[in-house]
Amino acid sequence: MFQEPSNADRYHAQMPTIPGVSSNRPGNAALKLSAWALAIAAGALLVVGLALGIYRHAHLRTAAAPTPGIDAQLQEAPVPAMAAVPPATPESSSPGEIGALEELARPWSSKAFTFDRPVTREGVPAMVVRLPGEASGKSAAYWAFSLTEPFGSCQLLYVTDLAVLTKQYGYAATHPMVVDPCNQTVFDPLRMGQRADGAWVRGAIVQGGGLRPPIAIEVSVHGDSLHADRIE
């Protein structure tokens, strides 16, 4: 006899049955538990994925970025400048009086003096010789030079005794000469010789193994006195 469904079952459709297939189904509680488990697992996977992505992004930015502070140090560090080298110029001093012109009135007369270097204030032993053939009021009538040999420490000598030049230095001279007793070099005050740079200065080498003429000192006439101006 057909039985009318109750009110509780009226709104629940019956699942069709398939021949040979069991009709047993899991209960509602089991379905709900499985759904919660899947949701939790999916959420965990999502959180892990987000964490890995954030870590990887931060790691790449850290590797690509320069070390903190290096850029600032490079910008603040001053660039060393080459030190500037001044051109070589003749060393000069303020005019210093050597003596009165009357002290050198005769040709071949001489006077020793000291030239003070302007920077180091070193005193350089020097000598001035009155040359023949020029008026006493002209600076060309005087030859001043350092008594220290070029490139050495031996002291030069001004020899006016021609017999000494012949006997001790083996040079037959007709006028006074400057000699280097250390290497037997003879310098002629009336002749010009070349320095290593090609410039011409007085005191050519006429005998011996010297390298160049004596170191010259420039002089000038001021009224009745002779002044030393500068040294090579």
Please tell me the predicted confidence (pLDDT) of residue 49: 60
Q: Is 218 helix (H, G, I), strand (E, B) or coil?
A: strand
Are 229 and 92 within 8 A, CB to CB? yes
CA distances from 144 to 127, 138, 188 (A): 6, 14, 13
By C-alpha distance, which of 195, 186, 178, 193 is closest to 144? 178
Q: Counting Cβ atoms within 10 Å, is residue 162 exposed (0-12), middle (13-18) or buried (19+)?
A: middle
Beta-sheet strands, E only, within 25-150: 91-100, 110-116, 123-130, 142-146
191: Cβ contacts below 8 Å, ≥ 6 apart: 202, 203, 204, 206
Please tell me the predicted confidence (pLDDT) of residue 42: 62
Q: Digits of tens for pLDDT over the chain (232 positions)?
A: 445 555 545 544 455 554 554 444 444 554 454 555 666 766 666 655 665 655 555 544 544 444 445 444 434 444 444 334 344 344 434 448 999 999 999 999 999 999 998 888 889 999 999 999 999 999 999 999 999 999 888 999 999 999 999 999 999 999 999 999 999 999 999 999 999 899 999 999 999 999 999 999 999 999 999 999 999 9
Cα–Cα distance, 216 to 232 (Å, whole number): 6
Domain edges within the chain: 29-66, 91-231
Are 93 and 116 within 8 A, CB to CB? yes
Cα–Cα distance, 155 to 158 (Å, whole number): 10
Please tell me the predicted confidence (pLDDT) of residue 88: 39
Q: Given strand 185-194, what is the order of strands in its sheet? A: 157-159, 177-180, 185-194, 200-207
What is the fold, at CATH topology level, of the domain defined by 91-231? Rieske Iron-sulfur Protein (2.102.10)
DSSP string, 159-195: E--HHHHHHHH----SS-EEEETTTTEEEEEEEEEE-
